[in-house]
Amino acid sequence: MRIEQVSPHAYAVVAEKNRLCDANSGLVAAGPGLVIDTQSDLGHARELQDLIAEVFARPPGLVVNTHEDLDHVFGNQLFDGAEIIGHRSLPERLPHAADPKRMARTVGYTKQPITGRVFRWLAPGAFAAVEQLGGDYDFAGIRLVPPTRLVDDRFSLNLDGFAVELIHVGPAHQEGDLLVHLPAERVVFAGDIVFRECTPIGWRGTFDDWRHALAAIDKLAPEVIVPGHGPVGRTDATGDVRAYLDHVENAARALYDEGVPALEAAMRIDITPFAHWSVPARLYPNVERAYRGFRGDPPDKPWNFFKLFNGMYRLAQARGLPLEF
């Protein structure tokens, strides 16, 4: 990870890889100090704290979780003494979206010879995804700490005279999606509404919901956009995500109308304009998501992650895409 100053009071902490759980964090260095997102495990959260200490003299007093996914909340416990802020849905959603014991147990299966072999045989894609995660992260010792200050639609923070606005735009990527807006410096920490140089993926809501969230960012006219994943961007960062969503949804629509199953559709859709982004096999979950919209499935319908990762695995193998998640 590296820390990068993006405006007089704002810093982005950017993950070095750009795969599953390699999330960014941020810091607003004003008043008591506000941390945005706390990383995927305790080791990375400590690294985040060390980077923050290079630019901010005291332990930060506030933490915002941009949404409920584990890569944005698993370090919360190390910020003891800080008030944790998140959308009102987070206390209910967190145990479903970010269960540290389940993550540690699942990674453990891949590391035992017998369970590992059975897991790989039953679900090679899920095995590969969990093996990747277990290589990058250590989910031991994590205690889920939910936010205690809860945000509805909007919330204004005054950091000793420096204004920070929290704006709920979910469901789009997840239920509790919050933007962190610094109006005086035209910076938006976008959470996972914006991915850069990696293929976006989303879990709750519809493609239209996601486009509305992107439009909400554009309306703020930011000069700097710190994505949830990938390098810091400028104004065009939302346009790239929108172009991908439009492309996938349009292509998927034609194949859906022909009765082509989602995985087969993902085998056929041309992703040349986005082929340089990491994890191109996320095309499959995105096609599944588009199909959910065409069918009118409820936007909170649960996902079968085994099926999703296996589909990504098959897609990567069939199209010669990198086997990454």
CB of 317 to Zn ion, least distance (A): 25
Q: Are 279 and 19 in contact (CB under 8 A)?
A: yes
The structure tokens 């506000």 sit at: 34
Cα 59 from Cα 28, distance rounded (Å): 12
**Rule CB under 5 A: which residues touch Zn ion?**
23, 69, 71, 192, 228
Nearer to Zn ion by Cβ, of 203 and 313: the residue is: 203
Minimal distance in Å, beta carbon 38 to Zn ion? 12
Angle at Cα 223 formed by Cα 217 and Cα 229, nearest 5°?
65
Nearer to Zn ion, 147 or 228 (CB): 228
Q: What are phi and psi of 70, to 5 degrees?
A: -60, -35
Q: Of 71 and 249, which has the nearer Cβ to Zn ion?
A: 71
The minimum distance between CB 32 and Zn ion, in angstroms, equals 25
Q: How far is the CB of 72 from Zn ion (least distance, A)?
A: 6
CB 168 within 8 A of CB 90: no
Strand, helix or coil for residue 29? coil
| Helix-helix angle 124-136:305-319, to 10 degrees | 100
How far apart are CB 303 and Zn ion at their closest, in Å?
15
Kindly tell me which of 192 and 209 has the beta carbon lying closer to Zn ion. Answer: 192
**10-14 and 25-28: which strand pairing?**
antiparallel
Residue 134 or 228: the one with the smaller Cβ distance to Zn ion is: 228
